[in-house]
């Protein structure tokens, strides 16, 4: 009985992992103002990534990084239906001067708009920038023609992530 109960408790987690593999097959395409896609790999660059979850490594992910000032905002145009991943960090980056807080998306706002948060366990690790800021990862099915303007901090924008290879 105890084994059966353990199996039943594991079932939703296993089903969600299977769902992740399935949605990885249909990534979106996007254009992001003042950001460009680069391979999501471990890098010594000061704006690079110290740790990458296995899920992203296994699917050849790209992440959009700033090429110019973003003022902490990711302005995206969705060019094809599919799944979009997003990395956000809410660590302290400065006071509220500049009124940026009024545009801030909290975790609960992301969830209320249909974004699903993924755990470190589901992703097979944590996404951490070289400045030691751990990222919260969300995903959502987006539609062609959607325009998104997202902010989760004062200086760092949310980082869009696309999967580039089939599992």
For the chain, the structural domain boundaries read 2-163
What's the whole-number mean pLDDT along residues 113-129?
Answer: 95
Is there a contact between 128 and 42 (Cβ–Cβ < 8 Å)? no
- Sequence-distant (6+) residues with CB within 8 A of 74 are 32, 35, 64, 86, 148, 149, 150, 151, 157, 158, 159, 160
Asked whether the predicted pLDDT for residue 108 surpasses 90, the reply is yes
What would the pLDDT profile of 57-69 be if each residue is shown by its tens digit? Answer: 998 899 999 999 8
Give the pairing of strands 136-142 and 29-32: unpaired
Distance CA 70, CA 131 (A): 18
Strand (E) or helix (H) holding 112 = helix 107-112
Between residues 92 and 142, which one has the greater pLDDT? 142
pLDDT at residue number 23: 73
Q: Tell me the pLDDT band of 96, cut-offs 50, 70 and 90.
A: low
What's the whole-number mean pLDDT along residues 81-86?
Answer: 96
Selection from 19, 138, 156, 21 nearest residue 91 by Cα: 156
Ranges of beta strands (E only) in the chain are: 29-32, 35-39, 49-51, 61-66, 73-80, 82-88, 116-118, 128-129, 136-142, 147-151, 159-163
pLDDT at residue number 47: 84
Number of residues assigned to the chain:
167
What would the pLDDT profile of 133-148 be if each residue is shown by its tens digit? Answer: 999 999 999 999 999 9
Asked whether the predicted pLDDT for residue 13 surpasses 70, the reply is no
pTM of the prediction?
A: 0.84
């Amino acid at each position: 009985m105890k084994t059966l109960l353990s199996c039943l408790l594991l079932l939703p987690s296993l089903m969600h992992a299977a769902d992740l593999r399935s949605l990885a097959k249909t990534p979106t395409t996007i254009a992001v103002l003042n950001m460009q896609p680069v391979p999501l790999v471990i890098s010594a660059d000061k704006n690079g990534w110290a740790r990458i979850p296995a899920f992203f490594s296994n699917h050849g992910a790209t992440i959009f990084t700033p090429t110019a000032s973003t003022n902490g905002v990711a302005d995206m145009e969705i060019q094809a239906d599919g799944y979009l991943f997003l990395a956000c960090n809410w660590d302290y980056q400065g006071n509220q001067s500049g009124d940026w807080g009024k545009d801030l998306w909290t975790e609960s706002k992301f969830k209320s708009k249909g974004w699903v948060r993924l755990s470190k366990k589901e992703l097979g690790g944590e996404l951490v920038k070289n400045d030691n800021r751990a990222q919260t990862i969300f995903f959502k099915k987006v539609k062609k023609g959607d325009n998104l303007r997202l902010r989760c901090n004062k200086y760092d924008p949310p980082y869009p992530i696309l999967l580039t290879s089939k599992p």
